[in-house]
Structure 1
Amino acid sequence: MSTYRALELRRFARTLREAADVVDIDTRAPGPGEVAVRNAWCGINGLFDVQIARNAVSYVKVAPPVAMGVEAVGIVEAVGEGVTELSVGDAVASVRFGGGYREMNIAPASTFVKVPAADQESLILASTGVSAHVAFHAIGQAKPGETVAISAAAGGLGHILVQVAKAHGCKVIAVCGGPKKAEFVKSLGADAVIDYRAEPVAQALARDFPEALDVGIDTVGGDIFDAFSDNLARHGRLVVAGVAQDMDGGAEIVSAPRIAHKLYYKAASIRGFMNGLLTEHWPAARADLAALKAAGKLKAVADDTTFEGVEAIYDAVDWLNSGKSMGKVTVKL
């Protein structure tokens, strides 16, 4: 019997390297309702991976051993009895936990969605692209002409958010770190860029955009969350799409007036975004992203650092978590 490789969580530990091992798994024929997909590329979610390794994700209960990874694209190699919606040779994407960091994924056909090709672009749009679209439209509920601030704007999620916001007719304030990333987000259409390495975000917003943010989409937390919430406009919406700053030390304990005092007199709101709880929005998001791409208003950018093979996932996670990447970090499987 042949085997394939996967990255499997074997124990809880502080880092993914300590917690997960590359293992060989026996292949099998797909059962009724299942398909077998040979994964070509996987997408990296480094912060999530590390938190899973630490058993620190409250909404995902894992018991080692369990396969890691979420996002992948590949080609259907075999279909089980009763499967009619997919055929051998179809390019498909999967965004379910446990299906990403492995060379082969044998799972129910409903786990997969058809994509144009098993390439990086399809991977990014089917996973991170959908997340960005849902965060922006379903949760942020941005309107054309509004001002939208985006943290980590040069990252996998952020660079799609910038383009989706511009395509929707919004003014975009992109927050990122360093001149290279600033130039990148400008090339995507950002109207203003705040380089947090050159100037505190709070200072820049208070000077140039006081109480002007109709929508803020934040994946960082900490001082950036505070700066966004301080500068919300009337009826402004702050979307919490992550808290990367709290990854190492746990939730920061802050002594400050309750957030209600910032929100009440502006009729503003803070909204949590968790893509896995918003699956009803995914089909419409996919369709709109495809239309934007066809119209030349959206491009999916992969980080240009090369990672290949399941064993390279460790390095890819470290690279993403270093804060140096631009675009989506991917691994060729």
Structure 2
Amino acid sequence: MSETYQAIQLQQFAESFRAGARIVDLDLNRPGPGELRVRNHYCGINGIFDTQIARNAVDYVKIKLPTLTGVEAVGVIESVGEGVEGFVPGDAVVTTRFPGGYRTLNLAPVSHFVKVPQATREWLTLASTGVSAAMALEHIGAVQDGEVVAVSAAAGGLGHLIVQLAVLRGCHVVAVCGGREKGDFVRSLGAHRVIDYRSESVADVLAAEYPDKLDVAIDTVSGTIFDAFLDNVAPHGRVVVGGAAADLEGKPEIVTQPRIAHKLYYKGASVRGFMNGLLTDHWPAAREKVFSLYESGRLNITFDDQEFLGLDGVFDAVERLLSGHSMGKVVADLR
């Protein structure tokens, strides 16, 4: 009898990830030439992406059913294929390539993996979300020391790292999040002004305290928060679109207002899309930066206080992230 491993497989398109996906047993094969076989220890959760994959609503990923799922995982190499150099069994590696995440074992080309010191959730977060944070703030946002930086979903996995990276650059950070606990959390990271969107109007606060002063505004929410960032962008400022959580239902809000050009032209400002998958050539430098900051104790990683175990836990973790109650990086333990 051949050995098997388990993975979450999307078997049908559905409104939710849980409704469309199932845990399946798959044959355990040897790595071919140029491949690694990796036993995953932790996987990172990307609930919005997972939901949109389940709905076949991710334009840049062509889905052919059935498909395995998940993007990011860290684990230990079990075996290497012919011609592989620089990797040996026992090495800890991270992948950030779909669909390498939601599975107990990953068999993929060596180019899909990056070596890390340990197969821990910290190194998973650094190599995935840490890289994304650096790319959004520094490459797309082109942040300069001492600028005013606004961040939505600031207490989330991505947001809490962007806040810290901006603080390290001497920036004045405006953090948008929901609730007292999250507000206290981002203040502890160095945020200078916290806007609790549950009790304050983001638009009113920015108009009163930061009119035309946002040099970099990184938004993963869309809707009225994006509008408020855009309205208060500084001359030569950059509004970075890194997601649209408010439009998760696939029905973006239709608004009637002056064209965006009128808000940008006279300020020389810009709106920039951040799609990390298009920036792979820049990942190595970003990894080197965030790895160094973490090892020197200048960058901290916070994980959501909910524990998720095994592939069964992935479904709960996706829903936890979508609930808006999570704080910090959400991961599942696959060991």
Deviates more, 1:148-157 or 1:200-209: 200-209
Q: Which residue in the other structure is 2:192 paired with?
A: 191
Q: Secondary structure at the match of 1:60?
A: coil
Per-residue CA distance 1:20-64 (angstroms, 9 max, x = gap): 110001101101111100000000000000000000011111111
Q: What is residue 171 of structure 2 aligned with on the other side?
A: 170
Provide the C-alpha distance between the structure 1 equivalents of 2:250 and 2:332, rounded to a whole number of angstroms: 28
Distance 2:8 2:146 in 1: 45
Aligned to 2:260: 259
Is 2:23–2:311's contact at 8 Å kept on the other side of the alignment?
yes
* Equivalent residue number for residue 301 of structure 2: 300
Percent identity of equivalent pairs: 59
Instruction: Give CA-to-partner distance per residue, 1:80-113, whole Å, 9 cap, x none.
Output: 1111121100000000011000000011111100
CA contact (8 A) 2:102 2:311 kept: yes
Counterparts of 1:54 and 1:309, CA distance in 2: 24
Partner of 1:34: 35
Partner residue, 1:105:
106
1:297 CA displacement: 1.4
1:332 counterpart letter in structure 2: D
Alignment match, 1:270: 271
| Partners of 2:303 and 2:138 in 1: CA distance | 23
Q: Cα RMSD over matched residues?
A: 0.7
Please show how residues 1-333 of structure 1 align to structure 2 within 5 Å.
Answer: 1-333=2-334
Separation (CA, whole Å) in 2 of partners of 1:116 and 1:207:
47
Shift of 1:302: 1.3
The aligned amino acid for 2:150 is A
Task: Measure the CA separation in 1 of the matches of 2:99 and 2:294.
Answer: 29
Deviation at 1:249, TM superposition (A): 4.6
- The CA distance in 2 between the partners of 1:327 and 1:28, in whole Å, is 35
Q: Aligned equivalents of 1:168 and 1:89: distance in 2?
A: 37
**For 1:91 and 1:123, how far apart are their aligned partners in 2?**
10
Residue 294 (structure 1) shift: 2.5
Please list every run of 5 or more consecutive structure 1 residues that lacks an aligned counterpart in the other structure: none
Number of residue-to-residue matches in the alignment: 333
Instruction: Verify the 8 A CA contact 2:57 2:250 in the aligned structure 1.
Output: no
Distance 1:252 1:227 in 2: 15
Q: Report deviation, 1:290.
A: 1.5
Give the secondary-structure state (helix, strand or coil) at the position aligned to 2:111: helix
**How many Å separate the matches in 2 of 1:102 and 1:229?**
40
Q: Which moved more, 1:248-257 or 1:159-168?
A: 248-257
Under a length normalisation based on structure 2, what TM-score does the superposition of the two structures give? 0.98
List per-residue Cα deviations over 1:124-171 (Å, max 9, x = no partner).
000001001001111000000100000000001000100111111211
Separation of aligned partners in 1, 2:229 and 2:289: 28
Q: C-alpha distance in 1, partners of 2:333/2:292?
A: 27
1:156 is paired with a residue whose SS is coil
Shift of residue 2, structure 1, vs aligned partner = 1.2
User: 1:152 corresponds to which letter in structure 2?
Assistant: A
SS at match of 2:224: helix
Instruction: Report deviation, 1:301.
Output: 1.4
Q: Which deviates the most, 161-170 or 148-157? A: 161-170
- Which residue identity is paired with 1:83? V
Task: Give distance in 1, aligned partners of 2:232 and 2:184.
Answer: 25
Note the C-alpha offset of 1:295. Answer: 2.6
